[in-house]
Amino acid sequence: MKSEPYEFSIDDFVALPKQTVAWQGIRNYQSRNFMHHQMSIGDQAFFYHSCCKDAGIRGIAVISKLAYPDATQFDPASKYFDVKATKDSPRWFNVDISLQRKTRLVTIKELRQYPELQRMRVLQTGNRLSITPVDPFEWQFILGLL
């Protein structure tokens, strides 16, 4: 799960009273579908800083609440407002995630040096998705790096 650190960083996550946050603002259908149809309570995710000098994995989070309508789509004052979304027919969903632990920084450059991770979606050229599945083998390999 990617986040720009100027929007929400690992340190912001650590500072939250319950270290839990609604993963709001996803406006890509594929990422929305990953959250809505594939994430279960207890699933783990890498917390990844993107669009910054030191892009890479910064922590591990766990899904703590199943997908539910993202409230920002209904708020005209929100940058995530969607005029086509209605309470009866929401278009966007989010999950809640809880911080499991902060990790050392594992940069994208470091991840790319391992042939074992060459097929990892987040490392593919042109990948712009903020949420991508991680293969169980990739997950275990990266845990070994932390």
Which band of pLDDT confidence, cut at 50, 70 and 90, is reported for residue 125? confident
In this prediction, residue 129 carries a pLDDT of 80
Residue 127 has pLDDT above 80, yes or no: no
* Average pLDDT score over the chain: 94
Query: Which pairs with CB-CB distance under 8 Å and at least 24 residues apart come from 86-93?
Result: 92/26, 92/27, 92/32, 93/26, 93/32, 93/35, 93/36, 93/67, 93/68, 93/69
Q: What is the pLDDT of residue 121?
A: 87
- CA 74 to mean position of chain CA atoms: 22
Question: Structure tokens of 9?
Answer: 């960083």
Domains and CATH numbers, the chain: 2-145 (3.10.590.10)
The pLDDT of 15-37, averaged and rounded, is 93
pTM for this model (two decimals): 0.90
